[in-house]
Amino acid sequence: MFNALDWWIVGLYCVGIISLATYVSRNNTGSERTAEDYFLAGRTLPWWAIGASLIAANISAEQIIGMSGQGFVVGMAIAVWELTAAIALIVMAKYFLPIFLEKKIYTMPQFLEQRFNKNVSLVLSFFWLVVYIFINLTSVLWLGSLAINALTGLDLVYGLVVLAIFSLAYSLFGGLKAVAMTDVVQVVLLIFGGLAVSFIALNTISDSSGVMNGMKIVFNEMPEKFDMILSADNPSYKNLPGIWILLGLGVWIGHFFYWGFNQYITQRALGAKSIKEAQKGVMFAAYLKLLMPVVIVLPGICAAVLFPVLEKSDQAYPTMMSLLPNGLLGLTFAALIAAIVSSLASMSNSISTIFTMDIYRYFKGNDLEQAHLISVGRWTVIISVAIATLIAKPLLGSFDSIFQYIQNFTGYFSPGIVVIFLVALFWKKATSSSVIVAALISLFASILISGSFPELPFIHRMTIVFMLSAIGCWAVVYFQGYKDQDKAIDLTNINFSTTRAFNINTCIIVIALAMIYITLA
């Protein structure tokens, strides 16, 4: 358990992060901070900050705790969401980012306003606010509080409050720049912490005879945990339906929704110095994704060997941390806190960006002072975090696996969102009415299919709903005259070319993924 050394390390980490955020957020003497400075870091982010911040924003409590818990239950097959994300990142960098950056947008809803109209933008703005507050923020806070409770005994409610206050302390005044720059430190701690847990666990399993021996023992005792493609008789087949987890549309719909059109992810790239800098940052994140199964999933598999009986699967990672010696325990706990608060800061910053730039500015007018917009953004952060803190326990306290809950719930909306953005980007005939219909079909078809066929794997449901939404979108366009729209994007003016280094790295990642699945299938 924790001792004074661990608490000193955690305290130093907290002070260090807040100090770093304060330093990078300082304003140049005599200059007024603009909304672009606060929400997009003045569009000055370098590639290494973008890549690190993408991973830090993504890997949070629902990933570390939730996915490690699924590693305990399912094994390495759950890593499909990490490994294949590398491909989605590359597609996003090559085909989506050039358009978004050329349009100089703040938010994803703003892009839809430029392509369609304000009604479409407002619908998506309110949708994202609901999802970010009631799904993302709450899940990160709740799982983070569970981890703190398991390791320190701190009451769950107090854990929620501590995480909320800490995330506000270093991100509220600095905006995206403070979040992105501190994420560089956070992601180093995150990776170190996960590797430390895996290393100690494997060494414990082998009775201190080495990590490789520990890996052999785990593989020999539980070879089924290393099956990347699950058979139909596996209890977890519904969530990871065999080869279709790779070849089906479902997982890619989820990826493009999350990595391509998700505000709190793309906002980092929107703050880049240039398109090439953004693409280098995304490629860096793609490489880090290949490391995540060892950082996140492997500790859960080791827990299945060392602690085969747990009350809930989401207790796997916190339980594994109890193996660490004092000092390293404090550092690894700081890494877990880093993952939690960086995601909280990222999500709350995106919530404030969408509310301020897409909703508040629309109803109040575009001639607002920059300082006023920043103030509104800060109050939005405070209110959204406060709401999530209050509802986290009542909303999520009864779920066993919150990771699968998140995947399943977002699957209700993601097919329609992907249809909307794909036609907005690449189909000149898409109309405002057609994308609203696509969104409505996505929601109601998901509810209908989920209720009528509860045993259908959710990624199959997402594929069916995606096709229905696309057909509905096409049908509306057809009946509206099937003609090019005035606001359609002229793709001939967009430069989709990438550097030789980008293309080589793409080949390396694809080959690495192929080798992983061929070896462990």
Q: Provide DSSP, 137-196.
A: IHHHHHHHHHHHHHHH---HHHHHHHHHHHHHHHHTTTHHHHHHHHHHHHHHHHHHHHHH
pLDDT of residue 483: 95
Q: Of 412, 378, 496, which Cα lies nearest the Cα of 91?
A: 496
Residue 292 CA to residue 194 CA, distance in Å, equals 9
Residue 452 CA to residue 75 CA, distance in Å, equals 29
Residue 511 CA to residue 237 CA, distance in Å, equals 26
459 domain residue, yes or no: no
Choose the most confident range, by mean pLDDT, from 15-24, 123-132, 165-174, 478-487: 478-487
Query: Per-residue pLDDT averaged across 292-296, rounded?
Result: 91
Query: Per-residue pLDDT averaged across 129-157, rounded?
Result: 84
Q: Of 93, 77, 73, which Cα lies nearest the Cα of 227?
A: 77
> Quick one: angle between helices 118-131 and 108-115, nearest 10?
160
Which residues touch 478 (CB under 8 Å, ≥6 apart)?
none
451 domain residue, yes or no: no
pLDDT tens by residue, 317-337: 888 888 888 888 888 888 888
436 domain residue, yes or no: no
Question: Are 480 and 431 contacting, i.e. CB atoms less than 8 angstroms apart?
Answer: yes
DSSP reduced 3-state for 45: strand
Residue 151 CA to residue 344 CA, distance in Å, equals 20
pLDDT tens by residue, 357-401: 889 988 887 777 888 888 998 899 999 999 999 988 887 766 655
The domain spanning residue 391 has which CATH number? 1.20.1730.10
For residue 229, the one-letter residue type is: I
pLDDT of residue 203: 92
* Percent of the chain whose pLDDT exceeds 70: 95
What is the total count of domains within the chain?
A: 1
Residue 60 CA to residue 55 CA, distance in Å, equals 9
Question: Are 236 and 80 contacting, i.e. CB atoms less than 8 angstroms apart?
Answer: no
Q: Of 111, 113, 115, 124, which Cα lies nearest the Cα of 485?
A: 115
457 domain residue, yes or no: no
Determine the structural domain holding residue 201 and report its residue range: 4-410+490-520
Q: Does position 403 have pLDDT exceeding 70, yes or no?
A: no
DSSP reduced 3-state for 278: helix
448 domain residue, yes or no: no
pLDDT band at 61; cut points 50, 70, 90: low
Which stretch of DSSP H or E encloses residue 455?
none
Q: Does position 420 have pLDDT exceeding 60, yes or no?
A: yes
pLDDT band at 504; cut points 50, 70, 90: very high
73 domain residue, yes or no: yes
423 domain residue, yes or no: no
17 domain residue, yes or no: yes
